[in-house]
C-alpha cells in the first residue's frame, strides 16, 4: 500500500469516528435512518453520496451514523436518508452537496493529509484518542 492509500485509509477511519461520536451520549448514538440507539462501536459511518465521490467523501454534511442494517443491508437506506438530510440542512445546501459530489475532485496527497491533521484536532476535542502515525 502506497503512502497516499495509507493516508486515505487513516482519514476514513478518523472521519468515521468523528461522525459516530458527534451528538453521542454515554457511548451511544442513534442510527440516522431507523432511529435505533446503539453503542458507538456498533454504528458505522453512513454516507448519503457514495465515498467514491472524493468531493464529498469527508464532508460532514454527507455523513451520519448508521446501523449495519441500514448502511449495508439496506444500502444506506437512501430514501429516508435523503428525506431527513433535506429537512436537516435545507434544500439549498442539499443541492449544493449533490452538485459538489458530481464535480471531479482531484485532491492532492498533501490536501488529504491536511484534512487528516484537521480532523485529528476535532477528534481530540471529542476526547477520542487517535493515532495519526502513518
pLDDT in tens, 23-41: 999 999 999 999 999 999 9
Q: Is the pLDDT of residue 66 over 50?
A: yes
Task: Give this prediction's pTM.
Answer: 0.90
Would you say residue 71 lies in a domain? yes
Q: What is the pLDDT of residue 134?
A: 41
Which pLDDT score is estimated for 104? 86
pLDDT of residue 123: 85
Range of the domain at 118: 3-125
Distances in Å between the Cα of 62 and the Cα atoms of 1, 25, 66, 101, 132 are 27, 21, 12, 10, 23
Per-residue DSSP letters for 103-117?
S-----HHHHHHHHH
Mind giving me the DSSP string for 64-90? EEEEHIIIIITTT-HHHHHHHHHHHH-
**pLDDT higher than 50, residue 129:** no
Q: Does residue 131 lie in a domain region? A: no
In a domain, 132, yes or no: no
134/12: higher pLDDT: 12
User: Residue 18 domain-assigned?
Assistant: yes
Cβ atoms of residues 87 and 48 within 8 Å: no
Region of poorest pLDDT, from 2-6, 19-23, 77-81, 124-128: 124-128
Domains of the chain: total: 1
| pLDDT of 128 above 80 | no
Percentage of the chain surpassing pLDDT 70? Answer: 94
Which residue from 21, 4, 11, 17 is spatially nearest to 116, judged by alpha carbons? 11
pLDDT value at position 127?
A: 66
The pLDDT tens digits for 103-122 are 988 889 999 999 999 999 98
Amino acid at each position: 500500500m502506497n503512502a497516499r492509500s495509507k493516508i486515505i485509509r487513516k482519514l476514513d477511519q478518523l472521519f468515521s469516528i468523528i461522525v459516530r461520536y458527534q451528538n453521542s451520549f454515554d457511548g451511544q448514538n442513534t442510527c440516522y435512518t431507523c432511529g435505533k440507539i446503539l453503542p458507538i462501536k456498533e454504528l458505522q459511518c453512513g454516507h448519503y453520496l457514495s465515498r467514491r465521490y472524493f468531493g464529498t467523501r469527508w464532508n460532514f454534511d454527507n455523513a451520519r451514523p448508521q446501523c449495519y442494517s441500514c448502511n449495508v443491508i439496506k444500502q444506506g437506506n437512501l430514501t429516508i436518508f435523503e428525506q431527513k438530510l433535506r429537512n436537516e440542512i435545507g434544500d439549498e445546501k442539499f443541492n449544493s452537496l449533490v452538485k459538489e459530489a458530481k464535480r471531479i475532485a482531484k485532491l492532492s496527497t498533501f490536501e488529504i493529509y491536511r484534512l487528516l491533521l484537521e480532523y485529528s484536532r476535532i477528534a481530540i476535542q471529542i476526547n477520542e484518542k487517535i493515532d495519526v502515525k502513518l
